[in-house]
A and B are shown apart, each in its own frame.
Chain A
Amino acid sequence: MTTARDAILRSVRIGLKRGALDDNQRAVLDARVPRHTRPAFDEDLVERFIRKFESRAGTVVRVSSRDEVPAAVEAYRAGLKLPARAAIGAALKDLAWPSAWSVSHGPATVDETMAVTAAVAGVAETGSLMLCGGPDSPTTHNFVPDDHVVVLDAGQIVRHFEDAWTVLRARPQGLPRATNFVSGPSRTADVEQTIQLGAHGPRRVHIVLIGG
C-alpha cells in the first residue's frame, strides 16, 4: 500500500521531472549557506532598537545595572496601579523582588496581571525582542498577562534577525520549544482597519534596558 507520504513525494518528483536526489545532491543542499541581503543601516544599535520598539507603542526605561531592575519594575507597576503580584521567570529569580509582592515562577494563569521575562536578544533592525520558552521562562508569560515587562541587556542587542539565531545557536540549551519575537503590544486592525492595542496578548510591553 502506498502511503500518502510516498504518493505526495512521488507526485512532487513527477512534477519536477526527476527521481529522488542522490546523496551527493542532498549533501550539496544541506551544505547550502543562506546569503541573502540584510538591510543596511548606520544607526547605533541601541538607539535604533529603542526607536523602533517605541514606534509600535512599546515603552522602554533604562537602568545602569541588573540590580536596579526590581525597582524599575516596581515603579512601572505602581505607576499603573497594578496589584502587587507578578509571574517572574526563574531566570530572574535571583533578583531582589519587593517582599510585598506575591511572586510566581510557574506558568501564567488567566488572573495573572503582570509578567517579567528575561530576553535572550534584541534585534535592532526592527526593535524586536527574542524570547525563549523553557523551564525558567514560561511562554504563557509572554501572552497571558495584560502587562509584560521584559529585561534586556544593551549588550544583547544584535543587528539583524540572523544574528539573533547565531546567539541562540550558541546557547547550550539550543533551540527552545517556543521562540517568540515580540515587537510591541498585541494589536488588531480587524474592525474597519482601526488599530487597537491589546487584542489578545499583552496590552502593554515595557522593556527595562540595562546599560548601554
Chain B
Amino acid sequence: MEMRSAEFKERAVFAIHDASLQQALGKARGGFVGKRAQQAAELPEFEQLREEAKNLKNEILTNLDHYLERYEAAVTAAGGQVHWARDAAEAREIILGICKHVEAKSVTKGKSMVSEEIGLNEALIENGMEVVETDLGEYIIQLAHEPPSHIIAPAVHKTKDQVSDLFLAAHGGPRKTEVADLVNEARQVLRDKYFRADVGITGGNYLVAETGSSVIVTNEGNGDLTQTLARVHIVTAGIERVVPTLDDVSLFLRLLARSATGQETETYTTYSTGPRRTGDLDGPQEYHVVLVDNGRSRMLAGRFRDMLRCIRCGACMNHCPVYGSIGGHAYGWVYPGPMGSVLTPLIKGMDNTYDLPNACTLNGRCASVCPVKIPLPDLLRELRHLQHRQELSPPMQRRALSLWRFVATRPKLYHAGEWVATRLLKLLSSNGRIRNLMLASGWTDARDLPAPPGRTFLEQWQDQRGKP
C-alpha cells in the first residue's frame, strides 16, 4: 500500500469536516472503550496479566532467533513450509510464486495486516488473480477501494448507509438497509468464493514454536472458511509473532479479545498445524508460512524493541482522542493511531512521516490500556528526538527551541522576557481576553487567550515578601 503520511495535516482537517466519518467514529468510540473497561473490571487478574504478557514478550524477543528456528523446525515436521522474507517485495514475490506454482486463479483472504503492509492484493490482482477479502469489514473497504482505517475494525469509518450503497453497486438491488440483511447478503456472496478458492491467505496472531501451529482469532469464522476450504493455505506473519508454547498463547488470548473488542473471548480461536493429513477429509493440501521481517529485526536494537511486543489489539487507537477525531485514513498507511505513529516511521522511514509522532498530545491514554504495556508516548517522543537530531523537524521549530534554551537557562533574561510578555499581552487584550494574536493564531483561531494581570507572580512575590 502506498504511503500518504506526508499529507497527514490536510487529510486530518478533511476528516474533521467529513460528517459521515464523524458519525461513524462517534458510534465506535463509546462502544469499544466502555466494553473494554467492563471486561478489565470483571477480571481481577487483568493488570497482573498485562505485566506477565509484557514480560513474556520481552523474554521472547530476547531469544527471538531461537524461537524462530524452533518454530520453523516444527512447521516442517508437520509437513508445512516456512519462507522468510526480508522486506515487502520479497514477501510479495514468495506469495506470488506459490500462487503461480499452484496455478491459482482465485484467492480468498482472512484479515491480515501484514498482507496490507506488504501490498499483497495489488500484486496478486496485477498478476491476473481474483482476490476476495472475506472479513466483512475488509470486504466492505475492498468494494470501496479504500485501505483499512483501523487494525481490527477496518471499515469502522463507514456508516450503514454507505455500506448499503456499496452493496447495491456490487451485488445489484434491491438496496438493503438493515444490518442483518447486509450481513446476510455478504454471507451468500462469499460462501461461493470460499469453495472456489485455490489459495486462502490468513494472518497469524501467534506462531507456536512448540508445535509449529499458526493461530487466528476471529468472530466471523471467515478466516476458518478461508484456510479450510482453499487448496493451499498461506499464513503471513511478522517474525515477532512467535510464542514458545500452546499454553503461552492462552496468556495473550486472555488479553487480546478483552482489549480489542471488549469481549471475554472472540468466537473462534483456531490453531492450524500443517496441511491435510492422511485420512483427513478436509483442509488444505499445502500449508505455507511467510515470515516477514520488513524492518522488525532492526527495531530489536534500541528503545523501539518495546514496539515489537504489540499484539495488534487496536486498544491504543480506540482510546486515542486524536484517532477518535480524525479516524485512521489521515495517518496515511496501514497502521493508524498510536501504534501506527510509532511503526510507520520505523518501517517506512523517517522521511515523509514527520507528523505521525508529532500529532499527539502525549496524554498517555493509549499506554494505560495497552495489554503489553508499550510506552507509546515515550516511543513517540523518542521519534521526535530522532527527527530533531536528524534535522527533520521544521527549521522554524529548531530555531525557536534554541532561542528558548538560550533564554530559559538565563533566569534574568527569561524573567525580562516574561516581564515584556505580561505587559504586551495585557496591552493587546480587551476585557480580560485576547481574541486575535498574530503570532499565536493557532491558539486564537479557536480560543481566547486569557489576559495576564499585568505583573508576573515572581514580581508580585518579591514585592510582598522581599528577597528571601
B-binding segment of A25-33, A59-67, A69-77, A78-86: A25-33
Q: Using A36-B250, A198-B187 as known contacts, list a sample of 6 further A-B pairs with CB atoms less than 8 Å apart, ordered by residue number in A.
A: A8-B239, A133-B282, A142-B224, A143-B228, A175-B211, A178-B270
Residues in chain B near residue A189, CB distance under 8 A? 153, 219, 261
Asked if B28 CB lies within 8 Å of chain A CBs, one says yes
A88 CB to nearest chain B CB (Å): 12
Residues in chain A near residue B301, CB distance under 8 A? 14-15, 17
User: How far does the alpha carbon of A4 sit from the alpha carbon of B280 in the complex, in Å?
Assistant: 33
B-binding segment of A91-99, A150-158, A159-167: A159-167
Asked if B358 CB lies within 8 Å of chain A CBs, one says no
**Nearest A residue to B283, CB-CB:** A177
Residues in chain B near residue A15, CB distance under 8 A? 297-301, 305
Q: How many residues on chain A are close to B (CB under 8 Å)?
A: 73
Whether the Cβ atoms of A12 and B297 lie closer than 8 Å is yes
Name the residue in B85, B182, B219, B291 with the highest tally of chain A Cβ atoms < 10 Å from its Cβ.
B219
User: How far does the alpha carbon of A20 sit from the alpha carbon of B83 in the complex, in Å?
Assistant: 20
Q: How many residues on chain B are close to A (CB under 8 Å)?
A: 100
A71 CB to nearest chain B CB (Å): 27
Whether the Cβ atoms of A199 and B220 lie closer than 8 Å is yes
Whether the Cβ atoms of B65 and A21 lie closer than 8 Å is yes
Q: Which of A16, A135, A188 contacts B220 (CB 8 A)?
A: A188
Interface flags for A157-195 (1: CB within 8 Å of B; 0: not) read 000111001000000000111111111111111111110
Residues in chain B near residue A30, CB distance under 8 A? 70
- Contact residues, B52-82 vs A (CB, 8 A): 52-53, 56, 62-70, 72, 78
Whether the Cβ atoms of B183 and A199 lie closer than 8 Å is yes
- Contact residues, B35-67 vs A (CB, 8 A): 43-45, 48-49, 52-53, 56, 62-67
Whether the Cβ atoms of B84 and A3 lie closer than 8 Å is yes
Asked if B31 CB lies within 8 Å of chain A CBs, one says yes
A-binding segment of B131-139, B417-425, B454-462: B131-139
- Contact residues, B169-210 vs A (CB, 8 A): 179-180, 182-184, 186-187, 190-192, 195
Number of A-B contacts (CB under 8 A): 243
- Contact residues, B263-306 vs A (CB, 8 A): 264-277, 279-283, 291, 293, 297-301, 305
Residues in chain B near residue A139, CB distance under 8 A? 224, 228, 282-283
Whether the Cβ atoms of B246 and A165 lie closer than 8 Å is yes
Residues in chain B near residue A102, CB distance under 8 A? none
Q: A29 and B275 in contact (CB under 8 A), knowing A34-B248, A199-B136?
A: no
User: How far does the alpha carbon of A20 sit from the alpha carbon of B70 in the complex, in Å?
Assistant: 13
- Contact residues, B289-344 vs A (CB, 8 A): 291, 293, 297-301, 305
Residues in chain A near residue B265, CB distance under 8 A? 126, 128, 181, 183
Q: List 13 A-B contacts (CB under 8 A).
A: A12-B300, A14-B301, A25-B66, A34-B247, A40-B44, A107-B282, A110-B192, A128-B265, A133-B283, A190-B155, A192-B160, A199-B186, A201-B224
Asked if A7 CB lies within 8 Å of chain B CBs, one says yes
Name the residue in B49, B267, B279 with the highest tally of chain A Cβ atoms < 10 Å from its Cβ.
B267
Residues in chain A near residue B1, CB distance under 8 A? none
Whether the Cβ atoms of B49 and A36 lie closer than 8 Å is yes
**Nearest A residue to B24, CB-CB:** A192
Residues in chain B near residue A12, CB distance under 8 A? 64-65, 68, 239, 297, 300
- Contact residues, A190-212 vs B (CB, 8 A): 190-194, 196, 198-202
B residues at A contact (CB < 8 Å): 24, 27-28, 31, 43-45, 48-49, 52-53, 56, 62-70, 72, 78, 83-86, 90, 134-137, 140, 153-156, 158-160, 163, 179-180, 182-184, 186-187, 190-192, 195, 211, 213, 219-222, 224-225, 228-229, 239, 244-248, 250-251, 253-254, 261, 264-277, 279-283, 291, 293, 297-301, 305
**Nearest A residue to B275, CB-CB:** A177
Residues in chain B near residue A181, CB distance under 8 A? 265, 268-270
Residues in chain A near residue B155, CB distance under 8 A? 190-191
Q: Which of A34, A140, A185 contacts B267 (CB 8 A)?
A: A185
**Nearest A residue to B90, CB-CB:** A4
User: How far does the alpha carbon of A108 sit from the alpha carbon of B283 in the complex, in Å?
Assistant: 12
**Nearest A residue to B62, CB-CB:** A16
User: How far does the alpha carbon of A104 sit from the alpha carbon of B273 in the complex, in Å?
Assistant: 26
Residues in chain A near residue B271, CB distance under 8 A? 175, 178-180
B298 CB to nearest chain A CB (Å): 7
Q: Which of A14, A29, A143, A179 contacts B221 (CB 8 A)?
A: A143
Q: A177 and B251 in contact (CB under 8 A), knowing A11-B293, A201-B224?
A: no
Whether the Cβ atoms of B281 and A191 lie closer than 8 Å is no
Whether the Cβ atoms of A9 and B300 lie closer than 8 Å is no
Residues in chain A near residue B253, CB distance under 8 A? 161
